[in-house]
Amino acid sequence: MSRVDAHHHVWDLSVREQTWMVGPELDPIRRNFAIEDLAPLAAAADITSTVLVQTVGLVEETVEFLEIAAGNDLVAGVVGWVDLTAEDIGEALDGLLSRPDGSYLKAIRHQVHDEPDDGWLLRADVQRGLAAIAEAGLAYDLLTKAPHLPAAIQTARNLPQLSFVVDHISKPVIGEPLEPWAGQLRELAALPNVTCKLSGMVTEAPWTTWKPADLQPYADVVLDAFGPDRVMFGSDWPVCLLAATYNQVVETAETLTSSLTPAEREAIFATTATRTYKL
C-alpha cells in the first residue's frame, strides 16, 4: 500500500539563507537537508511518496524543487511559491507549468502567518491571485495561525472553485485552550473545498516533554471536523527534528489515528493527499 508524506522541506544554506531561522533554538536545523537525507527515513517508515513544500518566497526555489521532483522517485509533487499580488501571476504560473517538469507543481503557498495584517488573504490583489491559482488547476496551502482563520474562512467561501489545504492544523499552541482555534477550524472545515494536514504538531508543543496524549485533543478536533477523507499526514521534516525524529512523527500520527478503521487511516496516509494534490 502506498503511504504519502504530504508535507516536508529541503534546503541548501549555501544557495540561500532561510530567513525564518531566527534564534539559537533553531540551531539544530541550521544545516543543509537534501532529499537524499530523507529517503532512508521515509523508507524505514514505509513512506512511498512525498510532497515537497516551499520555505521561502522565491520562484527560483520552486524551480529547484521541480527539478528535484523530476529527478527523484520519492517526490510526487511540489507546493511552490509565486507572488499572489503580482498582476502577471497568470503568466508566472504558466511559465512554471509549461516547464518539462511543470507537471510536478501541485499547489502554491505563501507564509500568511508572517504577514502583519491578519486579514492579508482578503486583500483584493491576493484574492485575484488566488483565483488565478484555481484557474491554473492548482491547490493552495494555507499557512496560518488562529488569528488568520477568520480571513481564511471568508477566503475559502469567496473562492469555492479553489481547493485549500490547511497546513499544520493552523498551528494551535499545544497545551493552551482549544478555543477559539477549534471553533474557527470547524467553521473552515464546514466548507467542502478545504482539507487539512495532520502535521506540525510536535513543534507547537513543548519540544522536550511532549507526548502523543498531549496532541490527541487537537487531532480529535481535526478528525471530527474534517473527517478522515479530508485529512492528510505530513511530517514537516526537517523542522520536526527540533522536537522529534522522523519515525517518531510517523508513529505519533499512527497513534493519534489508531481508533479509526483501516480505510479511514488509508485516507489520512494516502488517498486524501493523492486526490487533493492529483499525485
Task: Read off the pLDDT of each residue in 234-240 and give the average, rounded to a whole number.
Answer: 98
Q: What angle do CA 243, 75, 45 make, to 5 degrees?
A: 45
Residue 114 CA to residue 224 CA, distance in Å, equals 28
Whether the pTM exceeds 0.95: the reply is yes
Three-class SS of residue 236? coil
Predicted confidence at residue 130, as pLDDT, reads 98
Whose cell is 509565486? That residue is 82
- The rounded Cα 116 to chain-centroid distance in angstroms is 21
Whose cell is 490547511? That residue is 166
Task: Read off the pLDDT of each residue in 16-27 and give the average, rounded to a whole number.
Answer: 94
pLDDT at residue 196 greater than cutoff 80: yes
Task: Read off the pLDDT of each residue in 188-202 and give the average, rounded to a whole number.
Answer: 98
pLDDT in tens, 68-101: 999 999 999 999 999 999 999 999 999 999 999 9
pLDDT in tens, 162-181: 999 999 999 999 999 999 99
| CA distance to 55, 141, 178, 238, per residue, from 169 (Å) | 17, 11, 12, 18
Predicted confidence at residue 1, as pLDDT, reads 67
Of the pLDDT bands very low, low, confident and very high (cuts 50, 70, 90), residue 2 is confident
pLDDT at residue 114 greater than cutoff 90: no
> Are 82 and 53 spatial neighbours (Cβ–Cβ below 8 Å)?
no
pLDDT in tens, 39-77: 999 999 999 999 999 999 999 999 999 999 999 999 999
